[in-house]
Structure 1
Amino acid sequence: MRSLNLSISSLPILTQAENAVLEKEGPVQFRQALCFSMRSRIEPFLGNFPTPTRPLKYLHVDLCGPISTPSVSGHRYFLRAVDGFSHFVWIRFLAFKSDVNKTLRELFPKIKNEAKSTIVNLVSDNGTEFKNKDLSAYYTSKGMNHLTTAPYTPEENPFAERGNWTTVAKLRCLLNDSNLPPCFWAEAAQTAVYLENITPCQKGNWEIVGQWESFWAMGRVTGPTGYWMQRQVTSRPPTTLNLTTMSFHPILPMILTKTFPPQRQKPSVQQPHPGINPSPPTPAPSDSKSSDDDHLFKELLTDNQLSRDQPAVPPTSSPPTAGVPAPSKHYSWVPADLPAPKNISSNIDTSNIISGSCRSGHSANAVGYMKEEPWSYNEAVGSIHRDDWTKAIESELGNMDKHQVWTPVPLTKDIHPLLTTWVFRRKTDQDGNLTKFKARLCVRGFLQKEGRDYSNVFSPTGRLTSLRILLTLCALNNFEVHQMDVKCAFLNGKPDELLYIRVPQGLNGDQDTVLKLNKLLYGLKQSPRCWHHALTAALKEIGLTPCHSDPCLYFSSDESKPMFLYAHVDDLIFGGTWTPEFKTKISSHFDMEDLGLAKYALGSRIIQDKGSIKLIQDKYIDSILTEFHVHNDRDTAIPLPNNYNALKFTPSNTPGQPPFNYRRVVGLLQYVVQCTRPDLAFAVSFLSQFLEDPKVSHYQAAHHTLRYLSHTKSKVLILGQNDLDRKIHKLVGYSDSDWNGSKGWNSYAGSVIYYNGTIGWRSHKQDVVALSSAEGEYVALTKCNQDLLWAANLLEEITQVKPSLTLYTDDQSSMQIAKNPIYHHGTRHMNFRYHFIQDHIESKTIDLKYIPSTSLQTNLLTKNLTGSKTAEHTTRLLGKSTGFIKEMKIEGVCLPLPCPTEPQRTLLTVAPVTVTKGLPLPCPTEPQRTLLTVAPMTVTKAYLPIL
């Protein structure tokens, strides 16, 4: 044992070298148990499987799975059956392992009819999916013999076991060659099996089994090859969009193409369009490696097939200089269902949430394909828009030279250069029209190490409430709101650390040269912080002071020259009395782009009118509705279904294949709530509880909310309008709590802040479990009081006038607790932090008043109401609109008509007039009134309310 069981032939040599004596014992003495257990191996399998003499003499079956990524139809397994005589293959896809019984019962008669023969012997492993009482009785009734292999010996069934690997290898090639997402593995497997069956050996498998001819001439390339066209169902012209042509039909001689409209789960089978046979797209370089054969099925779809990593920079001897990228002969396809690339002009941008989407339908015709934005440098310079992307790249590199961003230095051992990547975006205006191609060079900041590459990274981000306060002040003072964009904003920041990057693609430089950063680039962790410091310093020099309540809101310290500015990274929104002068001064500090009157900011369209400013997200909402196919669904007047309270406690199943991305829907709706739609706050907050494991009922509730959004997408938030309830420089808060209304331990609380329009709102579950309705209302009052005080401090700071504060509630008990330091067994357990409101009431900072529940609009932020109540409170929250005209040509006659929703109001049809997009125009019949265009479309009549 000390010699680790050397062979018998080696022991005599060892004894001669060491002058030892070897006892003459038999060789059996050396065969120790340890040697057998540690050095044993499987002997090769001799012989072949019996050769059948006719089709279906032996039918080999095996099950593969589960596969980590479900297919488009929700399948995680595939069952493969092989005829031992013809080697013809049948394949079926299963969602669960328990579906094998049903699948075999459906498959065997089909095989019998196609092969015109009967199954004699069925060969499988010992899995219980094939070997159970139910199936054994079925085998016997059909006259089949069930032959099983020995445990853990797949070699005894090579037709099925080895065939599985062959099918998987082929489907991997198909997916990789066509750049399709992994969810199409089932269609690729079906295509692979079809190709295997028609591949000629001595005779094609199809010919042996069924005497059919080979169909190679009818084959097509798998991949994105066509447009999907919606059939004309209205007077609108038909529209087209890209589709994915998937696979061959496994049985019929006429090949049918299965097409999948983008982001739609249910496929449709259509006849192929004649003459479409494009070349396969060339996949982009990928660093991902194939998985091990032993873990083939476990890792089947986990490889990063769509990797867009940039290759190494080719070495040259010259220093880094800008060069024109050479276009490639091919281009790669980026699937439409992939998330949009990150923003390239800031670290926070609402356009990250908006993703391009296409209109859905029920029929498809293959006619072509339109390419999306590239994900890598090579893909951009090799795309059909290579000239536009090349100009964008040259412009970005020109900005680097202009700002003297870097200095070439030799690479040494103590330098740790960071890698870079290119990000490409198409920029559009508020109407969705393409304005320019944008390329941004970014550093891979996730490779930075704290302490070496960065230290402090915090950078403030402006609150949307602050933006609404700015717009309200501008509306009240009749200031025009303008917008400017800082070009290459982050290039104005200077790093505090020594930072180096590799020579990026598009520049020529050798491997021994790196670039020392003199300015910061996008992607670095400290870039937002340094840019904010540079912007603040420049604005202070101009005469604007940052607000302590919100560092991203600036105001003029000179009361005779008021100016208000809101900064969202590199987007500046401002208004005041010296706007032209400000534009000149800020342009002397940074390279600016003057966008004129503010029309579109942070996902919202801005409509400026005399005395008021309106915010609407119709374009953004349309993109959501289009993405999730809600345009043609039935409308609803309430945000949640009537039985919403039972959704959390009613047992429901998890859908086998989710109808849509639930988390994405809630996230998109959440941004709508944050910007312009407080009427959706409670619904979205309620849906957010089920992000982790949504059930069928939760998907239905989310779809219901989308239907409500479709019904109310033209709602606008009006800021700056004045009436008896909204006095200038008066802050009003409304608080409410729905104790035990959500059938859970924690109550829902809602609050609204008014300042000549709704500027802030909140709907959330309370942190504490209220033991009574009075306690729930009291806690809600304290939270609303906090929001009021913050808004009051901000207004006092930027206007130099302290606003009056009024807080309304519909609960008398909570009012008594807030106004009087009552101490008894029902209140003594309350946390002292909630008594914060008592001090402000006592000091008369806040005036607490009662309001009836029927008039409290925050009811909509704590519970689901009826349709009429929802409409009433929505009008109170958003403001009373003066009407909008949907463009383009308006026809009609001047006839007064009653309003269908508000009988006390009168509608006046407008005389024929042609209006332009998003511009206020005088009414041709009543010059004192104004028409506002909202969404581009053709209507026959338009109505203007007479107030």
Structure 2
Amino acid sequence: MFNDEKYVIDFSPREDEVILADGSSIKTLGTGTIHLDLPHSYLKIRNCLLSPQLSVNLLSMATFIQANHTVQKSTSPKSFEVIGPNHKVVMEGSLESGNFVVTQNKTTAFTVDSTSQTLMRLHQASGHPSYEYFKRMYPNRQIPHLNFSTCNTSKMTKTPFKGTFPTSHRKLEFLHLDLCGPISPASASGSKYFLRIMDGYSHFVWIFFLANKSECNSLIKKLILKLERQSNCHVSNIVSDNGTEFKNSELTTFCQQKGISHLTSAPYTPEQNPFAKSGNRTTVNKSRCLLKDSGLGLSYWAEAANTAVYLENLTPNKSINFQTPYFKWFERHPSLKNLHPFGCEATSLILPSPSKFNQKGELGIFIGYGEGHRTYRILNLETDNLYLPLINPDVETRNTELPTEENVTQARNTSADEESEIPIHNIPIESTTLEENLTNQPALPNHKGYIWTNEPIDNSKEIIGDVGNPRNILATSRRPKHSANFSELTLLDPKNYKQAINSAESKNWEEAISQELQNMTKHSVWSP
């Protein structure tokens, strides 16, 4: 029995009355399922009663005993342990006033930005993991059980795979292979298949995109040689179905030379290779979610699948005790600071630096993560070219809605028109001084605008992803956009040089003018 609705999911309202041991009665509002995050386990208890009248939450030890659990005294004084059927500790606690008090993890209060909208954006950036995996990815956040419509419509299935496979005890003991396709339409690069390879020990996944099945052999051989060099481990077994892309003389000869056993499943029996088949389903489901949220066309399925696999490797996995495949393979924890929603708008710095009056940045769409060291995959809206800027302050995602196919097309068609509408002013260069020119210039239109100020920018920070609303989902010390590099002009701002030097901010204006003159001299602006 629990006293707070925040513990209960799948709640079914039904008022009832419960008689307590002292003869008194309390009202219950309904039943539901409880999720308890304990130091030694993660419990899911069904048919629990909700009663706000309780001062403490109650667990029935008799129920645990009936479920083949054992209650025993632990090594510490006045403490106990509940041991599960697998002989592992399920929960522990202390004996206080004749009652068993269960030790529970400290809960973290909701942060200011933990609104439903922010959690939805964070869920999108994480690749739509399940609720249980989502909580494991962000253990320091208190995440309620939200209903994600994208997951409901994109992950519907008949029945899960129930096959089993021997446990792997080291890296590369088993490599599970599966080919998915042909997929229509072909990807933007012409691929019709993807080859998914998973390490049975770490559950780390590699994905490759193919135009033809015949490319499988060379990709498998190259990956095996690469992984053996990187991990100093030997591939013992590869597991696949009986498809001709795997069952052929070229791959058989390679396995014989390397001493690798090739295990194949029986025809029409995917349960014998559950990791590959269920893994393919996970990748396709994630990709479908990413495409649906982004509004990009189906021709970008390869980019979505590549991003889905990248996020799978960062997501805690139940099969490996809720560790991440990344941690199991690289033996270090991954960073989640650079995650952004697939398909969001992104701006990157043009390198090498363009000439003085050319645009310094390009607008594009974020479509995943590159294979190189810390790179993004950005699609240029104007040229449809794909480029890979480094993950640094030179790339920034914007806090806007994800683009759709309609507004992407509109952006491409209007960019040239907007550029042609920029007014061109002829600036006469007379013998008069620059100060006189500034004094005699006509007053600027009385609109709010911005001026550049000499405020330093810290480029040592990691990339900031403005992908949440109303706040960033990533912790950042960056100042708000307007205060980072700009100062607002108001209606009282001086309109000419004379007003500027006589205003209350005259010192700042003089410094700004002096700095601008130095810049002009440095870049030889007025030289013939």
Give the TM-score normalised by the residue count of structure 2.
0.44
Max Rg structure: 1
Work out which structure has the larger RCO, using CA pairs closer than 8 Å and 6 or more positions apart in sequence. Answer: 2
